[in-house]
Amino acid sequence: MTNSTSTTTTAAPRAGRREWTALGVLMLPLLLVSMDVSVLYFAIPAISADLEPSGTQQLWIFDIYAFVLAGLLMTMGSLGDRIGRRRLLLIGAAAFGAASLTAAYANSAETLIAARAVLGIGGATLMPSTMALVRTMFTDPAQRAKAIGIWSGVMTGGIALGSVLSGVLVQYFWWGSVFLVNLPAMVLLLVLGPVLLPESKNPEPGRFDLLSVPLSMAAVLPVIYGLKEIPSEGVHPLYVVSIAVGLLFAALFVHRQRTAAAPMISPALFRGRGFAPAILLNLVSAFAMMGSAFFTTQYLQSVLGKSALEAALWALLPSVPIGMAAPVATQLVQKGVNRAYVVAAGFGIAATGYVMLALAGTDSLVLVLVACGVLASGIVMVMSQMTDLALGAAPVERAGAASSLLETGQEFGGALGMAVLGSVGTAIYRHEIPSAAPAPAHETLGGALAVAGQLPGRAGEALVTAARAAFTDGMRGAAVAAAAVLVVAAIAAATTLRRVHVRETAPVAEPEAAETVEAVESVA
């Protein structure tokens, strides 16, 4: 019996210039979708002055894009497998462009909220479609790994770029310009997509399970909502109930997928070697990435006193080494280093970044930026490898569903990271803030700074100093907790992935056929 498990077929055809050019076209929607997560960071004040939204409307303007996107990812991934990934991509691009134009010239908060919701629908079609098309265009494992490395780098870079771009555009133009930048790229995609991108879909998808659509949204949205609110509002019963309701619907959704004749997400996907560990480890990666972002953005602005635009510009520096992380990981795997050890090393590097963050004081700009660069580089190494592993383990006809599961897992992981690590940091902050401080100062650092501005002379300065020190203590405590999680993840990756070497996957076998394959492999 061999000491590793692999699933191989005959050599896959290699992609040529056409496919690599098509990859460049695919990066356009991916970049814009990832940028739209953060593109309102600097535009919100200008929007508030112009449209005068209520507090609730302002929250919806900011959050509805991410909520709709997360809730529809699985639906759109499965739909792309049925009607064609290129077709769905182009439909989504048209919707994204039209919604961007509407948002740019919105004359009321309600119109802007509706446009942002449609942007979320478009984003949910674009993200799994781009990843699934990468899977179908690059059937050679080595080329696919390189393409996925580029995909991961563009997605990570887009989030950082979005906030900076919005700051520049709002400063020199008007807030609607942050949406208009989407239009040229979407027009280019609509023109070049039909020429360069191949159409692909599941030849035998079965009937689309309509019941799974509301079940999937009811499973995802309440959990994401509860996890997003806990870091800022605390563990309120409403948020706990929201998470519990979401988990109940998640159980119903899983039951539906296991019993439906043509499920939205086929359970057979999880029989692909390495698929389930890839989904879980990718979730942990998002946990670490978004958990750090919760603290570092506040640290740059509220502890170091940088303006929002200055903070965004400084935050670009850690993205420089990120561009090298995925290619390095890919090269190591292709040169024969076991993927398990590369992924474990990625988690170890990210844990080192968190350890560095745990050493930060209230005036540690360089240390924090270096820590963020180290942390993000390790995470991108893991994400690129887990994406490649999951897509390689999934059959081509289910590439859209596989992609949507990866991205939904990332949304859960990001929200969980902010909730867990944010709660750890908040608990430490509230313990460290002086008991004599005014009540708002005990809630958040922002509250403390606002109150301090109303206090006379040295009393205000003392409160600012104490609050910044308490927040930094909370960040250090959360960093230690996150480093521990990543060390456990590194050990899990080294043990669970050590014998998984997926080079190319044939269509998923039925249970009886899968047992036969395993029996043959055990004899070999």
Look up tokens 């995925």; give the residue.
326
Helix (H) or strand (E) holding 494: helix 457-496
Q: Name the percent of the chain lying above pLDDT 70.
A: 88
Alpha-carbon gap, residue 243 to 218, rounded angstroms: 10
Q: What is the pLDDT of residue 232?
A: 65
Identify which of 326, 286, 294 has the alpha carbon closest to the alpha carbon of residue 410: 286
Identify which of 400, 470, 355 has the alpha carbon closest to the alpha carbon of residue 75: 400
Lowest-pLDDT range of 303-317, 333-347, 373-387, 460-474: 303-317
**Cα separations (Å) of 280 from 18, 271, 387, 422?**
34, 14, 11, 21
Mean pLDDT of the chain: 79
Q: Is the dihedral of CA 423, 427, 432, 433 positive or negative?
A: positive
Q: What is the pLDDT of residue 155?
A: 73
Report CA 221 to chain centroid distance, whole Å.
Answer: 15
Asked if 429 contacts 474 with a C-beta cutoff of 8 angstroms, the reply is yes
295, two tokens: 């603290």
Strand, helix or coil for residue 5: strand
Quick: pLDDT tens for 239-292. Answer: 888 889 989 998 998 888 888 877 888 787 777 678 888 889 989 998 888 778
168 pLDDT band (50/70/90 cuts)?
confident
Q: What is the pLDDT of residue 394?
A: 77
Q: What is the pLDDT of residue 501?
A: 61
Asked if 47 contacts 53 with a C-beta cutoff of 8 angstroms, the reply is yes
Asked if 478 contacts 291 with a C-beta cutoff of 8 angstroms, the reply is yes
**Cα separations (Å) of 299 from 3, 80, 127, 508?**
48, 41, 31, 47
DSSP track, 359-428 = T--TT-HHHHHHHHHHHHHHHHHHHHHHHHHHHHHS-GGGHHHHHHHHHHHHHHHHHHHHHHHHHHHHHH
Quick: pLDDT tens for 359-374. Answer: 998 888 899 999 988 9
466 pLDDT band (50/70/90 cuts)?
confident
Enumerate residues 6+ apart whose C-beta is below 8 A from 146. 327, 330
Quick: pLDDT tens for 179-205. Answer: 888 888 888 888 888 888 888 777 776
Identify which of 445, 467, 414 has the alpha carbon closest to the alpha carbon of residue 159: 414
As a residue count, the chain comes to 524
6 pLDDT band (50/70/90 cuts)?
very low
Quick: pLDDT tens for 489-498. Answer: 999 999 888 7
